[in-house]
Amino acid sequence: MSDQLRFDGRVAIVTGAGGNPSLGRAHAMLLAERGARVVVNDLGVGPDGRSVARANAELVAQEIRDAGGEAIANTDSVADFESAQRIVDTAISTWGRVDILINNAGVVFLATFEEIDPSDIELVTSVHLLGTIWMCKAVWPHMREAGYGRILNTASGAALGQQYTTIYGAAKGGIISLTFALAVEAAPHGILVNSLAPAAATRALTYSNVEGDPFVADVFRERPPELVAPTVAYLVHEDCTASGKCFDVGSGPVPGRTSELYYMRTKGYINEDGTIEAVAANIDTALDRTDPETPVRGKAPFQPRPYRPR
């Protein structure tokens, strides 16, 4: 098709792309199929974070090469800035540029807040939230210098609050907020930044739920990662104009649905009395979601003092 959206000449980094099945692999394979040169990144420990379900970046990169595409594997961690820089350096040293960053790497532990171990709290937040920050920080100067870039950060509907995902959801909520703010800073430089809340059959789902869980079986039957990848590919294409959005892809009653997940604010009420009792009497009005408004984002109304790093 002459009107295909292609990525010829573009260089993409996809983190956490070594699993099979996995979202990262599906993203990397589709981008490569459409002409992108891809850095397939994966530390190799798998979604459990303990090397029980190991991933392999080289196998996915080889799949791409066997299909006629261009790909190189990278096994650095996203969880610290220096290693994140090495991931970006892989793209720069191999192909001289980086146009696309898909932050997909992650680990997940389904546990109550009371039972999850502090070391796993640190692992989840360092990979998901800090890993996304470090990768964006590492790729930023290259995209800014080029005057072009597409960044897609993987969030989750768990950010809205879900049982057994307190820490995971907190990290994903941070990613959504990071995306909103980065999009504002990125706009003058030709860089678009969005986030993704995907629902798909992945090894993370298998290893975080009990064997035989009917929910997992339903997801694997109806929602392969390949249903999410087309929306991802569009969001990192040069034709895309959306930025500062969170796209919910694959959830809901119909597999393959793409929608926007966004924040709203109720009309609320004005506490003219200035008392606790007035709040109590009007709390239902404050929570009334009739005719909500969209909060405004953009340029800060204040003037910060000059930042001085330590």
Average pLDDT over residues 232-247: 98
pLDDT at 202: 72
Residue 200: how many other CB atoms lie within 10 Å: 24
pLDDT in tens, 166-222: 999 999 999 999 999 999 999 999 999 999 999 876 766 665 665 676 766 676 667
Place of tokens 């006629």: 68
Residue 309: how many other CB atoms lie within 10 Å: 3
DSSP 298: S
Which two tokens mark 199?
């629902």
Question: What global pTM score does this model have?
Answer: 0.93
pLDDT in tens, 274-294: 999 999 999 999 999 999 999
Let me know: does 100 contact 12? Beta carbons within 8 Å.
yes
pLDDT in tens, 295-309: 988 888 888 999 999
Residue 295: how many other CB atoms lie within 10 Å: 10
Average pLDDT over residues 97-115: 95
117 has pLDDT over 80: yes
Place of tokens 């991933």: 55
Residue 242: how many other CB atoms lie within 10 Å: 13
What residue spans define the domains of the chain? Answer: 11-260
User: In the chain, what percentage of residues exceed pLDDT 90?
Assistant: 76
Rounded distance, CA 109 to CA 271, Å?
42
pLDDT at 1: 45
HEC string of 239-263? Answer: CCCCCCCEEEECCCCCCCCEEECCC
Rounded distance, CA 80 to CA 99, Å?
21
From the candidates 168, 263, 269, 307, give the one annotated as an active-site residue: 168
Which two tokens mark 24?
């990262």
User: In the chain, what percentage of residues exceed pLDDT 70?
Assistant: 92
pLDDT at 61: 98
225 has pLDDT over 60: yes
pLDDT in tens, 259-269: 999 999 999 99
Helix runs in 67-146, H state only: 81-95, 118-125, 131-146
Residue 39: how many other CB atoms lie within 10 Å: 28
pLDDT at 53: 64
Average pLDDT over residues 12-17: 97
Amino acid found at 231: T
Let me know: does 265 contact 62? Beta carbons within 8 Å.
no
Q: List beta partners, residue 39.
A: 13, 72
Which two tokens mark 178?
């990071």
Closest CA to 194 of 143, 258, 248, 244: 244
52 has pLDDT over 70: no
Let me know: does 158 contact 204? Beta carbons within 8 Å.
no
Rounded distance, CA 175 to CA 215, Å?
26
Rounded distance, CA 248 to CA 76, Å?
28
Residue 235: how many other CB atoms lie within 10 Å: 24
Report the chain's C-alpha Rg in angstroms.
Answer: 21
Euclidean distance between the first and the last CA atom of the chain, given in angstroms as a whole number: 54
256 has pLDDT over 90: no
- Classified by CATH at the fold level, domain 11-260 comes out as Rossmann fold (3.40.50)
In sequence order, the 6+-apart residues with CB closer than 8 A to the CB of 249 are 196, 197, 198, 199, 227, 228, 231, 232, 257, 258, 259
Catalytic-residue membership of 168: yes
- Please tell me the number of Cα atoms within 13 Å of 296 on its side-chain side: 4
Rounded distance, CA 105 to CA 123, Å?
12
